[in-house]
Structure 1
Amino acid sequence: MQKRSIWLIVTIFFVGLILLSGCQTSIQTPSPPLRSPTETIHPTQTLPTETFVPTTIPTQIAAIPTETRQVPERSVFLISWDAARADFIYKLMEDGTLPTFASVLKRGVRAEYAQTIDPSLTAAAHNSMSSGSSPSHTGIVSNAFHLPKDDFYWYRNGFDEVMDNAEPIWVTASKAGLTTAAVFFVGGSPKHEGQLADYTIGYGIRDAYSEQRHVDLEKAEDWETTPQTYSPALSGSFSIKDVGRVYLLVLDSTDDATENYDSVLLNTEKKSDQAINLKQNEWGSMVLLKRSYAGADFLIQEITSKEVTLFHSNVYHNNIAPSDLRDVINQRFGFFPAGPDPYAMGDGWITEDDFIHMLERQSTYMAEVAAWVYDTYHPDLLMTWQDNFDAAGHAFLMVDERQMDYSSEKAAQYADYYRQAGAIADKSLSLMLEAIDLDKTTLIIGGDHGMAPIHSVVYVNTILEQAGLLTLDAQSHVVINKTKAFAVASGGAVHIYINLIGREKEGTVTPEEYPQIQQQIIDLFTNLKDPQTGDPVFERVLPHDQLAPLGLDHPNSGDVFAQANFGYHLNGWRGKNFIFEQADFYGQHGYDSALPEMHTIFIAAGAGIPESGEPIPPVHIIDYAPTIASWLGFQPAPTVDGQPIPSLTQP
């Protein structure tokens, strides 16, 4: 299996790279994907009582009095299912895998499909979905992109950036006097100043990475109140970087006259009364940092008298505003749980079943939180996000003989894992529906983009390096004063930036040289062929001045923008001496939004929505925001590019 660093490369839109200029090293901390096993029993959570907050809802975050705000005739609840590819999801609705989705459709209508933006990537698409504006207004032109004010090798994470010349619909609605909530929705985070909803719950903040541990054991000493054990108690410990030490107490709970260690107590102190107690193959959850209420999930994988092998997830804490809401969520639901972990699965630390378990744990948590916020604060508009189909699509879309480890048997097994992820999504939808009265609420079930199978990785910066446009030192750091171009890739799309004098801080390309360098890059990418088949790798390669029809004419876009054909994942890693490599994961997006594989779902049901057995014509994800504004009775922002959906807004 490839190492964790390779997995960090593979999903570049959720990671940072080590980026350098000359002799100066700058590090962007890698991030796991948002971007969570088949069990339906979720981990037990032990929450230290001294960290609890009052059980009543703080008055300062109580629902806004109706006399101070506009009260629309209905409310809107939007759920974005990441990578909910239209043909896949509609088929699962028909074959019984998604009965709750199908029941919602009986109360409303679906579109033939919803078209996404270009590139068809999560950060870019969700910012466009929430604002109704194309990337030419939002400035979120990909999951990762370069800004001229930064060092030339540096790129920004699209999930962390605020919009440029656009605003989320929840901001516009709040200005109109409505109450709004953004719950785990991409682009809705307390750190995004100027983009907050009244109740903003962002994706959790990671404090430490996941890891598999092999903990050596010795005779237990200094533990308080050791529980009964039929063999001498054993203990061990390990440290999680930037978090602290975790202590283990290992016990034999069976009175069978045989040394049979079968129970592991875990705690941040040598105390058994607040520890979690797990058997082999059991999951549990534990708060590790009481001040920030950060925690992780633990899986005991093997217990012997010599060592315990366990896996712990990424450590996360909640990311919520206002702070009193954060305290209530921590108390009622616990810390934000890590999602499914492709790195750990790739390293062999967890199985596919464990991956699905983590997916269910996070999906259920987010659904329960969204339902509670809606039921408690009664916002006029709530927008939330779920990762089920995206996580499963990246991990399990095995349909091509060119894919790593392909066999018909494994492909069938992976198809079943995808269906399990769908079944979990259906349960999560059911949880959210418990808080929704469809007679008074309009429900949108949508997606941001589709998903397509991949078989190969293409190292786009190696293309530039081999052409003499990118210079690296012995450590694969960018030598800026000898570099003319640099690529920032996300999924099936790539922005290539030219080191232009007068725009970049340490430019090397004159305005006179610019057209020739730009054309050289276009030719390099246009002419790139798959060495096995001779097929072109790229569907289209465009100069910056031809990006307006794609809605990408923004300074954050590259001097050249390219999208691959299906099958190819574009990777921006530097220092490879080869361009092509077999991919070790299975699904990707970022490709041409007009292609059916990139289409996503749209279902509207409930208040004000006609029940129709026939699909309405295709819609666009930038139409959601102006449609919601029409329903709730306020004017959308002037930067909105979409239009209200005629069949849902006109008499």
Structure 2
Amino acid sequence: MKINKWGESQLSLVSQRIFDWLPRRLFLRLSALALVTFLLVNAIHLATAQSVIKPSRSQVVLISLDGATPRIIDDYLAKGVLNRRTGLGLLQSRGVSAQRNLTCNPSLTAACHTTLNSGSTTARHDVVANSFHLVASPFKQNVSGFAAPIGGYAIEATGATQSATPTAEPIWIKLRQHGKKVVAATFPGADGADIRLSSAADSPIVQPAQLRTVDYTVPFGGFAGLSAKGFSLSAGDFSAAPTQTKDQLTAAGKTFYSPVLQKTNGLEQFTVGAVSYDLQVAALDTSNDRQVNYDTLVFFDAKSGIRSGGSLPSTGSAFVKAKRKKSSLFYLEGSSNKAGTAFYVSNLAPDLSTVHLVRYSANSIPRNSAVLADVDDINQTVGFWAPQPDFRIPQRSTPGLTDFSDLELENIYEDQVRTFVDYQTRVALRAIAKNPDADLVMLYIEQPDGSEHQFLAIDSRQATNPADANTIGSGQDSAKIARYETYVQTAYKTANRAVQKIIDAVGTTRGGVPRRNIIVVSDHGFSPFHTAVNLNAFLTNKGVDMTKVRAITSGPAVNVYINLQGREPDGTVSRSEYILLQQQVLKALKELADSNPNYSKQNKRVFDQIYPRPRPSGLSDPTFGLGTNEFIAQDSGDVFATLKEGYNFDGAQTPLVPRVGDDAAASVVFSVPSFYGAHGYDPEKPNMSAIFFAAGPDIDRRTFKQVRNIDVVPTINRLLRVESASTVQGTALKLKS
């Protein structure tokens, strides 16, 4: 604004001097046309100066694509799987990209998103995994990394409390102190929740909601108490629909050409959000082909009957035409948590001889009081929290799927990928549209992470049939591998479309540069794995007393805790015994090796990183059991370790499926996993690299060889002209010459 005023004053001064300089007679002789022309030119110059000199207020949109991996994106851009002119390709060609983005350690979603929102390493921000233990809580109590205090908390003689000097803080705290407007739509850490030390005495608040709330806050949704379920039906399950059903269909404007049939005994009954539901399903023939050809199922609650949807979040009854391969949403009317589900029909024979359908899990957005108005805004303009991609479906751990083919389950999962990313994108667009003056908008897209977990089958040591260990190497199912590759591609294309829709929402210049500074990152990369590891079984075999020691795993990362007296409120282990147990665990982890030549070479050790919690020199030191360093945070395990690529703590099946060539003893520890992709490994591994793309009015075209996720926060602060908090460990990137 100062520059603009300077421009105006200078032009006015120049004009005045011209008039002062002209002799009066000459001025009087100027024709009216000349005078008008002169004034017009002066006005044009003034307007031009204003448009050039007037600065635009910097605005930043940060988008996180969970699990997006540079090597995969480079490959897809080169092959044309991703369009170079849209989404990530557009950002790369119009702005900055990085060949490598060093992420946090361990490279897990909760930990690395906290790095993205704080600019601090895991050891500093204290969100050490997707699931871990707060050492001031009872020994058997875990906490989700998505609901853990950012920057730690204070451990005092009287118990745990909010820290007066947190070791890290979210970016929005400093920005809002400087009058900046911040919006967060499903971005981890911004949820408006009071974080409590659960199961401890009085459940004290260790981080209040006000520190996790921005100007417009939409928490990431979650499970509403009802898991997904499959149903295999046949013609014998149906009978003539009652007159009431047919009348309701007619009133809803539905046309049918064969007798309506309805499941005789109803579909299922359940309770969600303190309301009971009695779900019914009827079969319709909507094709006017003079044949009995049932092609559509309608799902409805017996109490409400069949009806069209009202205003959101209401959806009315769910009509699903099988050949469309698309689910239909179903809002659970009256539920206190405003929950909903959806139905997908994977196989519908025209004569109803085979009917396969899945009712997705019920989901809702947490109704945290601090952000309730924003949650209701989303429910009323976008809809209830859509069903997320559910890994239990392709892994067949969801009940009722026995008769479903692999392809049916894969199609179901792909439907969830498309519909959920679409939902998250619409939430993001609503957040942007409702807050056009936001200085920072923080957005999160769950894909391609989920699809990479399920379908990253790119290693010959991976069993393409999890139930058959022999399907490795030459025994792999090549057709299945080819299908899986298309599913990973779909995830990237879907995420890329989300990025493009956000670019469209903020607009671009004629040259294709976004009108706001858009930064797209991921939390981590991805790697295939072939072996599931049972650490508890291994430690037990090594003689570790598992009543005094707990191993909490997240992917290939583990925090091993010792129940220390004076730290955990129910601690039983003395300090001298603690030292012995810590050394025993360290020794065991260092010894774990894989001698099976089908999966390993030269009896390879399985652990890549092993770090003990540092101890003070004396047993009486008050900091005993609370030591930290660059790898160990306040709430890390007493031993923190990560496996080498190819191995993962998750994915073990029940019963275990032994690997090819393992003896009985090894099979207890190593087994065939139920899925294929993982992250959480050493961030220095190339596969764990995150992505970084940026373009906008304050960003030039260039390529960085390497950036770090801790650099994102200071870079945003530089763009918004706000000094970073003292806890920020990253360095602002120079995005413009």
TM-score by length of 2: 0.72
1:354 equivalent in alignment to 2:412: yes
Structure 2 counterparts to residues 246-325 of structure 1, below 5 A: 246-254=279-287, 259-269=292-302, 271-274=305-308, 275-281=317-323, 282=325, 283-291=327-335, 292-303=337-348, 305=352, 308-319=355-366, 322-325=371-374
Aligned to 2:648: 569
CA distance in 2, matches of 1:640, 1:368: 32
Q: Report how far residue 296 of structure 1 moved.
A: 1.3
TM-score by length of 1: 0.82
- 3-state DSSP class of the match of 1:147? coil
Q: Report how far residue 458 of structure 1 moved.
A: 0.6
Q: Report how far residue 624 of structure 1 moved.
A: 0.5
In 2 relative to 1, CA 134–327 (structure 1 residues): closer, same or farther, beyond 3 Å? same
1:326 equivalent in alignment to 2:375: yes
Aligned 8 A contact 1:72 1:380 in 2: no
Aligned to 2:494: 424
Aligned 8 A contact 2:260 2:282 in 1: no
Q: Report how far residue 343 of structure 1 moved.
A: 0.5
Runs of 4+ in 1 over 4 A off after TM superposition: 254-259, 303-308, 546-550, 571-577
Aligned to 2:25: none
1:369 equivalent in alignment to 2:464: no
Q: Report how far residue 232 of structure 1 moved.
A: 5.0
Aligned to 2:394: 345
Aligned to 2:110: 123
Q: Report how far residue 638 of structure 1 moved.
A: 1.8
Q: Which moved more, 1:356-365 or 1:567-576?
A: 567-576
In 2 relative to 1, CA 440–103 (structure 1 residues): closer, same or farther, beyond 3 Å? closer
Question: Amino acid of the residue matched to residue 298 of structure 2?
Answer: L
Aligned 8 A contact 1:542 1:562 in 2: yes
Identify the structure with bigger relative contact order (alpha carbons < 8 Å, sequence gap 6+).
Answer: 1
Aligned to 1:617: 705
- 3-state DSSP class of the match of 1:435? helix
CA distance in 2, matches of 1:432, 1:84: 17
CA distance in 1, matches of 2:260, 2:73: 54
CA distance in 1, matches of 2:453, 2:128: 21
In 2 relative to 1, CA 255–606 (structure 1 residues): closer, same or farther, beyond 3 Å? closer
In 2 relative to 1, CA 225–610 (structure 1 residues): closer, same or farther, beyond 3 Å? closer
Aligned to 1:441: 516
- 3-state DSSP class of the match of 1:345? coil
Q: Report how far residue 254 of structure 1 moved.
A: 4.9
1:94 equivalent in alignment to 2:57: no
CA distance in 2, matches of 1:258, 1:107: 56
Structure 2 counterparts to residues 178-197 of structure 1, below 5 A: 178-192=180-194, 193=209, 194-197=211-214
Give me the CA root mean square deviation: 2.6
Residues 507-531 of structure 1 deviation map (CA, whole Å, 9 limit, x = unaligned): 3322112222111111111110114
- 3-state DSSP class of the match of 1:365? helix
- 3-state DSSP class of the match of 2:593? coil
- 3-state DSSP class of the match of 1:322? helix
Q: Report how far residue 302 of structure 1 moved.
A: 3.8
Aligned 8 A contact 2:238 2:261 in 1: no
In 2 relative to 1, CA 307–190 (structure 1 residues): closer, same or farther, beyond 3 Å? farther
1:135 equivalent in alignment to 2:122: yes
Q: 2:552 aligns with which of 483, 488, 506?
A: 488
Aligned 8 A contact 1:461 1:572 in 2: no
Aligned 8 A contact 1:141 1:552 in 2: no
Residues 213-263 of structure 1 deviation map (CA, whole Å, 9 limit, x = unaligned): 246434333435344552253243312453622222223445666554333
In 2 relative to 1, CA 328–600 (structure 1 residues): closer, same or farther, beyond 3 Å? same
Question: Amino acid of the residue matched to residue 390 of structure 2?
Answer: D
CA distance in 1, matches of 2:627, 2:76: 36
Residues 8-66 of structure 1 deviation map (CA, whole Å, 9 limit, x = unaligned): xxxxxxxxxxxxxxxxxxxxxxxxxxxxxxxxxxxxxxxxxxxxxxxxxxxxxxxxxxx
Q: 1:73 aligns with which of 39, 57, 82?
A: 57
Aligned 8 A contact 2:614 2:628 in 1: no
Aligned to 1:585: 675
Aligned 8 A contact 1:341 1:355 in 2: yes
CA distance in 1, matches of 2:456, 2:346: 27
CA distance in 1, matches of 2:411, 2:355: 21
Question: Amino acid of the residue matched to residue 280 of structure 1?
Answer: A
CA distance in 1, matches of 2:566, 2:222: 37
Aligned to 2:253: none
Residues 295-327 of structure 1 deviation map (CA, whole Å, 9 limit, x = unaligned): 112112344557843102121123476333333
Q: Report how far residue 285 of structure 1 moved.
A: 1.0
**Structure 1 stretches lacking a partner, 5+ long:** 1-70, 472-482
- 3-state DSSP class of the match of 1:159? helix
Aligned to 1:225: 248
Q: Which moved more, 1:569-578 or 1:392-401?
A: 569-578
1:159 equivalent in alignment to 2:143: no
Q: Report how far residue 181 of structure 1 moved.
A: 0.7
- 3-state DSSP class of the match of 2:432? helix
In 2 relative to 1, CA 318–535 (structure 1 residues): closer, same or farther, beyond 3 Å? same
Aligned 8 A contact 2:240 2:261 in 1: yes
- 3-state DSSP class of the match of 2:364? strand
Aligned to 2:735: 648
1:85 equivalent in alignment to 2:69: yes
Aligned to 1:23: none
Which is higher, the Rg of structure 1 or of structure 2?
2
1:107 equivalent in alignment to 2:94: yes
Q: Report how far residue 548 of structure 1 moved.
A: 9.2
- 3-state DSSP class of the match of 1:519? helix
**Structure 2 stretches lacking a partner, 5+ long:** 1-54, 153-165, 195-208, 251-255, 309-316, 465-475, 508-512, 598-602, 616-625, 657-666
CA distance in 2, matches of 1:457, 1:439: 44
Aligned 8 A contact 1:539 1:564 in 2: yes
Question: Amino acid of the residue matched to residue 610 of structure 1?
Answer: D
Count of matched residue positions in the alignment of Structure 1 and Structure 2:
566
Q: Report how far residue 599 of structure 1 moved.
A: 0.6
Residues 405-440 of structure 1 deviation map (CA, whole Å, 9 limit, x = unaligned): 233433232222211211111211111111113554
Q: Which moved more, 1:346-355 or 1:130-139?
A: 346-355
In 2 relative to 1, CA 307–77 (structure 1 residues): closer, same or farther, beyond 3 Å? same
Q: Please identify which structure carries the higher strand content.
A: 1
Aligned 8 A contact 2:190 2:217 in 1: yes
Q: Report how far residue 72 of structure 1 moved.
A: 7.7
In 2 relative to 1, CA 305–586 (structure 1 residues): closer, same or farther, beyond 3 Å? closer
Question: Amino acid of the residue matched to residue 169 of structure 1?
Answer: I
CA distance in 1, matches of 2:147, 2:178: 26
Aligned 8 A contact 1:233 1:252 in 2: no
In 2 relative to 1, CA 648–516 (structure 1 residues): closer, same or farther, beyond 3 Å? same
Aligned to 2:577: 513
Aligned 8 A contact 2:96 2:735 in 1: no
